Each structure stands twice: as C-alpha cells, then as structure tokens.
Copies of this chain bind each other. A is one copy, B any other.
Amino acid sequence: MAELRKDPIVDRWVIISEERGKRPVDYSNVQPSLRGEFCPFCFGNESKTPGEILAYRPAGSPANSSGWSLRVVPNKFPALSIDGETHRVGEGMFDKMGGLGAHEVIIESPRHDLSLEELPEQSLEDCFWAFSQRLNDLKKDERFRYIMIFKNHGEPAGATLEHTHSQLIALPIVPEMVHEELVAARRHYEYKERCIFCDLLAQEFGDTRRIVAENDGFVAVCPYAPRFPYETWILPKYHSARFEANGTDHFPSLARLFKDVLSRIRKYLDAPPYNFYLHTSPLQTECDAYYHWHIEIIPKTTKLAGFEQGSGCYINPTSPEIAAENLRNVAL
C-alpha cells in the first residue's frame, strides 16, 4: 500500500508507491517503442482498462463499449488509492500518512495516430469539459486537498503509452509547487489587494515581447523567468481562481488558443515531447480573491542534471523573448 512521507528538513511530500514498481517500463533506460504494439486505449479494447468513470459517447450506447469520443478510466497502476487512509502518523521526527488518493486517465480521443494538438478543437474542448467534470465530482470527497491534472506526451516526457491521454491525481495534501504560489499570491493580495497574476498579465500586455498568442478569453506567454526553453503558460485574461468554476462558455476559446500554441511548439521544435499541468485552486482553501488558475506547458528539450537537482536553479539556454518571438512567427 502506498504512503505519503514528508522530508523532515524541507517540507516536501513524496509518494512511496511500490505498486507502481510493477510497471514493466520502470527501471529500464531503454524503453520499447510502443508504436504498433497492443494499445489498451483504442476502440475494441475497452475491457483492457478498468471500467470507465466518465465517457462522452452516443446516447444509449453501453458503458465500456466502442464509439466514444473521450473516456476517463482509473489508472491501472495507480500511485495512490481511493481505499487509502488519511491517518497521519509521526515516527520520531518523521511524518507520514496513508496513500489516499485517486489516479485517473483521460483518454482524449479514440485516434491512436494523432497527438492532442492534431485533433479537432472540439476534442480539446471535450478534454477541458472532462477535466472540469472530474474536478467537480472529486471535490465532493472532503479527504482530498488538491487535484493535479497533467499530461506526459512522448516517452522522454514520461509517457508509457503512446495513445494521447492526460492524467489526474487527487491528493490528501496541497503539493509544494502550488502551495508556494498560493503563499506568494496571498502575500501580494494582503499588501496590495490585487491578484499577482492579474498584475503580471498587465505588465506582459504593456511589454508584449513575451506574448505568444491571445484571443478573447486567454493569453499565452513565455514567463519572465522560465525554467525551460519554450516554457509557455496559458492564463485566462479575466481573474479566475478555479478552472472548474470557469464558466464553461470559455472552453471553446481555451481550446482554440491551446491548440494554436501546442501547434506552434510542435512545428517550431519538430514535434517535441512535452508535459503540461494545470495549476488551479486547492479544494479546501478559500483563495478565490488572490489565486489565478493557469496551465504551464513544458516542451522537453533539455535534460535535468545535477546542478538543477541540487540547486533548484535552472539553466535555460533560450530567453523567453526569443522563444515567444520564434513561436509567434510560426506560420500555421
């Protein structure tokens, strides 16, 4: 059974999840190519995944049959389990708790041969709908503190299956990266009574050098101090702390900009592996006034090495001004 442990020096939780050690691809530096092999996410193989939690499919068609356009299923090798406990235990100076959580897979399309950015806008919109529905469902469970939605695209970015999908992990803690943003955003708000992300957008619109693309509802920027080359963030232009409370009339606009930006990255960097993740409000924290949800996209072009691991300071060979200019100039 998995458990969460906290480093006694820095406040960093880790998930010790020995179940995941069973995955055949772990501990192998030479990954098999998954192209052409059996794919549990394709039509006809619905019985090879755990039963679906949510699916967009023709009215009346039975669950776990073919014909769907999007499916959400439990991860077959979950990092955390819904049966886990939240009981917190001290072991001398150490802290741990049971491995409670949920780990789901969003199969974004039945098409095995296309990446998310190659799918029609409707598929991306469906994907955001599914994120929103799962957030709204899982937040009813008051044991959860945070839901992290993310995507690993391509094997160097950590994907173990090729078929386009994203993932969701519900956690009984607020993870460090989100906690840091929240603390900083709250401090800014207490001092200025403004959202730090709204201030940041105001400055970016005044400068424009780091803006990649925008539309009526959203803007894509290369952040001022990016850790990685071509790191790009997508934020709503209006203040909004919670992705799932976002007014779903904005999803077509988000889907349009998201596809646009991913397509620029794909074309400029020659279809790189990438990760993205959603930073939205924790479930049990009142932060609507000062937090601002956003999606961070990280193309995988460099390797994390000893300096970055040991310092937390990243060396980035491409300035965000150059990255944004190059992405803006892509002819789609």
Contacts and interface: CB of A to CB of B under 8 A. Distances in A.
Contacts of A303: 156-158
Interface string A139-181: 0000000101011100011110000000101010101111011
B275 A225 contact: no
Interface majority SS (helix, strand, loop, mixed), chain A: mixed
A39 B144 CA distance: 53
Q: Give this chain's copy count.
A: 2
B8 A224 contact: yes
A148 B9 contact: no
A310 B278 CA distance: 8
B158 A305 contact: yes
B14 A225 contact: yes
Given A20-B315, A29-B273, 19 more contacts: A8-B224, A9-B196, A10-B177, A13-B225, A14-B316, A18-B319, A18-B322, A79-B315, A92-B203, A94-B203, A150-B306, A156-B303, A158-B304, A167-B306, A169-B307, A175-B311, A177-B311, A178-B311, A277-B306
12 contacts: A7-B223, A9-B196, A11-B184, A12-B312, A15-B314, A17-B317, A23-B317, A152-B306, A158-B305, A158-B306, A176-B311, A275-B306
